[in-house]
Amino acid sequence: MSLFLDGSMGFDPNDYVSFTFFAGYMAMLAASVFFFFERSRVADEWKTSMLVSGLITGIAAVHYYYMRDFYAAGNGSPVVLRYVDWTLTVPLMCVEFYLITKKAGGTKSILYKLILASVAMLVTGYIGEAFYANDAVSWVWGAISGAAYFYIVWMVWKGDVAKLANNAGGAVAKANGALAKFVIIGWGIYPIGYILGTAGGFFGMDLGIAANEEVLNLCYNLADAINKIGFGLVIYSLAISSETEAA
């Protein structure tokens, strides 16, 4: 599986996974440029949120540049590079929830809870994928990671974050609702990749299919593009709509 043909810079039309690495790199880079440029056009209260959005996609673009080459060279799934990316970007996505609810009473305690849950989700997911991908016990680490994920879902859908956003109403409530949907639906793509890409991903059960590294990376790449770019677009929409409401 190679992004290039015979060492050249041409695309292999049959290597759809490598194409998603390339497309992910370009999409993240373009989104980062957009968020950084648009940051100067929004009100001061949203500049930090826009900066974080640009950092999320910018960090991802750098990692996708290297993951693309790693995968194209036939080295398999870029597990370490991907989890380094997620360790930097996923907590930043949690920071967005804190920033949009800060005016409504969002506290650093909420921020720390979200970040700790995201780190726990990533660390246990990494252990399962890096050390037990070919072992039926991978489902144990996936389940622990899933528990941390569902805690985040609860926080943003019904917990403290949701309550603060609903109390604030208006654009903040709409933005939190949209981001919560990304967490539930968009982030939900990652467990699908984990289940299909590790031997015991689904509670150690034999699904009748072999662990598929290509499907794992395809799911991860798709989810990254949807969630990281989508988060930023929601924040941008919030900033623009807030200016409209103020006018």
Q: What does pTM read for this prediction? A: 0.88
* pLDDT one digit per residue (tens) for the chain, 247 residues: 444 444 444 456 678 888 999 999 999 999 999 999 999 988 888 899 999 999 999 999 999 999 998 988 888 889 999 999 999 999 999 999 998 888 778 788 999 999 999 999 999 999 988 887 777 778 888 889 999 999 999 999 999 999 999 988 887 888 889 899 999 999 999 988 888 877 755 554 544 444 578 888 999 999 999 999 999 999 998 888 766 555 5
Q: Whose CA is closest to 51, among 63, 62, 42, 60? A: 42
List the helix and strand counts (H, then E) for the chain.
10, 0
What pLDDT is stored for residue 239 in this prediction?
A: 86
Q: Domain spanning 16-246: which CATH class is it, in words?
A: mainly alpha
Report residue 140 as tokens.
């144990």
- Which residues pair with residue 4 across a beta bridge? 11
Q: Whose CA is closest to 182, among 65, 94, 87? A: 94
Domain boundaries, the chain: 16-246
Between CA 38 and CA 232 the distance in angstroms is 11
Report whether 15 contacts 1 (CB < 8 A): yes
Mark 183-213 as b/e (b = at least 16 C-beta within 10 Å). beebbebbbbbbbbbbbbbbeeeeeeeebeb
Provide Rg for the chain, Cα atoms.
19
In the three-class reduction of DSSP (H, G, I as helix; E, B as strand; rest coil), residue 188 is classed as coil
Task: Output phi, psi for 11, to 5 deg.
Answer: -80, 145
Q: In sequence order, what are the residues at sequence separation of 6 or more whose Cβ sits closer than 8 angstroms to the Cβ of residue 64?
A: 21, 24, 25, 28, 85, 224
